[in-house]
Amino acid sequence: MQNKHIEHPEDSILTGDLSVLDWFVNPGILSVKIDGAPAIVWGTNPANGQFFVGTKSVFNKKKIKICYSESDVLALYDEATHANLIEILCACLKYLPRTETIYQGDFIGFGGSNEYKPNTVTYQFPEIVRQVIIIAPHTCYYAESDIRDAVAMPDRAIWNDTDHVKFVKPNAYILHNQESFADVEEVVKFARQMATAVEFVSDKEAAQIKKQLNACIRAAEVINADDFDCDPNLIRLWALVKSIKDDCLSICRNDGPAAYLGSPYAGYERIDSEGYVMTNEFGMFKLVNREVFSYANFNHGRFQCAA
């Protein structure tokens, strides 16, 4: 699939694209969504054959930031405002294995502890991490000649820890050894029937509806179909698809490090993970509890305004 933002299943139906209904009931590749930061991209640039690292800005159409050396890192990022990112990118340049394929992963932290909070989720490893850096690979890219045209695919590589890098790639699975979310097939059929009576919207209108939905979710407000400037049945279908997503999420599991929300002061709440991503012939979508993570992200320090 194209290199783009991974959508929530329920958001994808607003314009009338119902491919997610097939996605729900067909086998796919399930992976754990790790809540790391920043996103790190590394591999060999097909344009020149050189190994590089960078953030997602390597895929920018215009202002591309690709680092082949530490001097590139220092030239592209201001030390006064990006000191932490500079340290991370230089370490990734030094220690990540040289690969022909382009990969993306989430940076978890530097070694020396067994507890890390790179973003909103706190991860606890069973023992102190001795490697220099910790990274969670999740996506690989195929680019014939230009990184800007890269096509994303789920990462199927097996990552073995090195002396300097700990790779976090939990095994994800559906309970009862299921290959797909076949249990929701009847509800999916009902969603198809319901969709025949829905007036869908344009991409521009869908973007506004998503903003309104996200605002309601962050504020823990009830989503009332009549409050939206669109066919109320569209919001009812959105809610039905979201409920199907939540049912699927409830039977996903993984064997990764223990994950928690909260803080040492307010108390930790054990969670399964930030969520999951599944990919099959009908697309790549994420399974995330939006109520839990929208609130947690909104109340995370970088989202708050100073008093």
d(CA 3, CA 234): 27
H or E element in which residue 280 lies: strand 275-280
How far apart are the C-alpha atoms of 293 and 42, rounded to whole Å? 28
Residue 288, in any domain of the structure: yes
* pLDDT above 90 (res 304): no
pLDDT-based confidence at residue 86 (cuts at 50, 70, 90): very high
Q: Is residue 5 part of a domain?
A: no
How many domains are contained in the chain? Answer: 2
pLDDT value for 301: 44
* One domain, residues 121 and 179: no
Task: Provide the pLDDT confidence category of residue 253 given band limits of 50, 70 and 90.
Answer: very high
Q: Give phi and psi for 254, each to the nearest 5.
A: -150, 165
The residue with greater pLDDT, 152 or 66, is 66
Q: How confident is the model at residue 62 (pLDDT cuts 50, 70, 90)?
A: confident
Residues 19 and 45 placed together within one structural domain of the fold:
no
Does 297 lie in the same domain as 181?
Answer: yes
Q: Residue type at 65?
A: K
Instruction: Note the pLDDT tens digit of each residue in 197-251.
Output: 999 999 999 999 999 999 999 998 999 999 999 999 999 999 999 999 999 999 9
CB environment 46-70: b (16+ within 10 A), e (fewer): beeeebbbbbeebbeeeeebbbeee
Residues 93, 183, single domain; the answer is no
- How many Cβ atoms sit within 10 Å of the Cβ of residue 184? 19
